[in-house]
Amino acid sequence: MNFYKYLYQRGNWIFSFGLFSLMLMGCDKNLLDAVPTDRLSENIFWKSQADAELAANALYNDLDGAEIFYSDALTDIAHVNQPFAVDAYIELGTYDASSSRLYNTWSSAYKGIGAANYFLANVGKIEGSRDEALIARFIGEARVLRAYQYIKLAYLFGGVPLVKAPLTLEEGRAVQRADLKEIYDFIDTELELAAASLPESYSSNDIGRITRWAALGLKARSDLYAGRFAAAAKAAKTIIDSKRFELYPLYANLFTYAAENNKEVLLDKQFLENIYTQSVFNLLAPYSQQNGQSTYVPTKALTDSYETSSGLVITDANSGYDPKNPSKNRDPRLALSIFLDGDPLPNGAIFRPAPNSGTADAVGSTYIASTTGFNIKKYIDKKDLANPSKSGLNIMLLRYAEILLTYAEAKIELGEIDGSVYDAINQIRNSRTDVKLPIISNQVNQEQLRQLVRRERTVELAFEGLHLADIRRWKTAEKVVPGKVYGITYQNNNGEAVVVEAASESRVFDAKKHYLWPIPQREINLNPNLKQNPNW
């Protein structure tokens, strides 16, 4: 039984709405003069340990779910399929501080922060008999969930308001941006404190809650983003040395119902089919599959990143790459992550995206069909075909593969290249049953390893919401993002090999300002103390 199924069966599902009402009511104490009939009141809440549990449970709603997918489409590896979508303007560099994507990302993150702050400010009010270790665990969960939001805000916006406690409206209109270092210092401290009070694992109804390892894994991620490589390597190594995690043996099944709660998962957002659902199938599937929306689609830039089965990049003359048959003899993760021409689809049909194929998925057949001829395969489980907008498939937010790659990258940047670095990379490349690439030897130098681990992060973690942060911290976005978007290679009616070019303007990335998003204009209008990022 997963965590969310337990919540629903306990009748606690509606509590998240009650908590949000409490947070709003906390802004104006006059609202408490009458006891409401449609929400929870502070007059009757925060009385028992059960109340603390309910409040802690509600915090999980603010974890990202399907929201992780849009960010990859703002990089070189994916594309916003419909040109009129709000994210398309970010691709084209024509967005500004009024973008709803920026505002929604900012406001949802601070909603999660606000909920955690409210919990931490009130959990001490619990009266009567209480299990102090359990209360400490709830506090640890809240700290981790709050730090998760700050990690996201930091890489997107830079220094942001560091809010550690509930604010009045007046206080909220006066906050200022903290220095980015202060944000990362806070994240580090919070995750270290949380890890000390969290269990190493859960069983039964509590599977899906934050563990000590999730806290340390997020710390490794945050430290890597901050360039604190020694700290990142240390946190990742602690997880590796625990021997509690391993790569799931079949990459093909990793993002399906069959692999839920497996030993590779450190943190996920759990869902419950037809009750607490996500709509990834509807969002990403090819158009022919129950009107899949193809909202974000892979690019040729990504598919070209996958090595050949010989372990060489496709530009190497000895790689065996065939430009007329680009998917032949390639890293198996290419075909396991992306729908390619000839692949079986969930409904039993064959994926035929070529413009001259005459199918619903043909490039140009409709504005919804993929404009690159590629579709994302991760999380497209045929079990969701009948009801694509009500999937119960869990979405992974942190998995062991990332920990291994974080460790390897941090050690490479430190110049501390030893057998453990090669082992971490080679586990990714060669330990799964269905992914067998040549192992990397100790003859590879630091710069070659740097490029290798970056390529491994790109292909291993594609469509998992991490690549935007990567190309920002690597400072490669200005090189890889700008230009046309290309897709499949197909044979036209004259037998010529043609590369699809997505019907869009060229992407733009201005290094002078696009490495940070602007602070949403609505926030600056409310609080002029929030100084805008450079050149916006």
Beta bridge partners of 396: 268
Question: Concatenated DSSP letters for 18-76?
Answer: HHHHHHHHTT-GGGGGS--SSS--TTTSS-SHHHHHHHHHHHGGGS-SGGGHHHHTTSS
For 409: left if phi > 0, alpha if psi spans -120 to 50, otherwise beta; the answer is alpha
Exposure string (b/e) for 41-79, b if CB count within 10 Å is 16 or more? beeebbeebebbbbbbbbbbbbbbbbbbbbbbbbbbbbb
Cα 509 to chain center, whole Å?
A: 22
User: How is residue 316 written in tokens?
Assistant: 């190497």
Q: How far apart are the first and last CA of the chain?
A: 48
Q: How confident is the model at residue 13 (pLDDT cuts 50, 70, 90)?
A: very low
The pLDDT value given to residue 7:
53
| Side-chain-side CA neighbours of residue 103 (13 Å) | 14
Question: What percentage of the chain carries pLDDT values higher than 90?
Answer: 88
- Running DSSP on this structure, what letter comes out for residue 168? -
How confident is the model over 262-266, as a mean pLDDT?
A: 98
Check if the beta carbon of residue 296 is closer than 8 Å to that of residue 398: no
pLDDT at 12 exceeding the cut of 70: no
The pLDDT value given to residue 462:
98
Class of 3-198+514-526 in CATH: mainly alpha
pLDDT at 111 exceeding the cut of 90: yes
How confident is the model over 71-87, as a mean pLDDT?
A: 96
H/E stretch holding 468 reads helix 467-473
Q: How confident is the model at residue 62 (pLDDT cuts 50, 70, 90)?
A: very high
Mean pLDDT of the chain: 92
How confident is the model over 88-100, as a mean pLDDT?
A: 97
pLDDT at 35 exceeding the cut of 90: no
What contacts 166, CB < 8 A, 6 or more positions away? 23, 26, 114, 117, 118, 121
**In the chain, where are the structural domains located?**
3-198+514-526, 271-393+475-487
What contacts 525, CB < 8 A, 6 or more positions away? none
The pLDDT value given to residue 32:
32
Q: For residues 196 and 513, what is the distance between their CA atoms, to the nearest angstrom?
A: 39
From 330, 454, 469, 448, select the one nearest 398 (Cα to Cα).
Answer: 469
Q: For residues 96 and 520, what is the distance between their CA atoms, to the nearest angstrom?
A: 8
pLDDT at 517 exceeding the cut of 70: yes
390-447: pLDDT as tens digits: 999 999 999 999 999 999 999 999 999 999 999 999 999 999 999 999 999 988 899 9
pLDDT at 9 exceeding the cut of 90: no
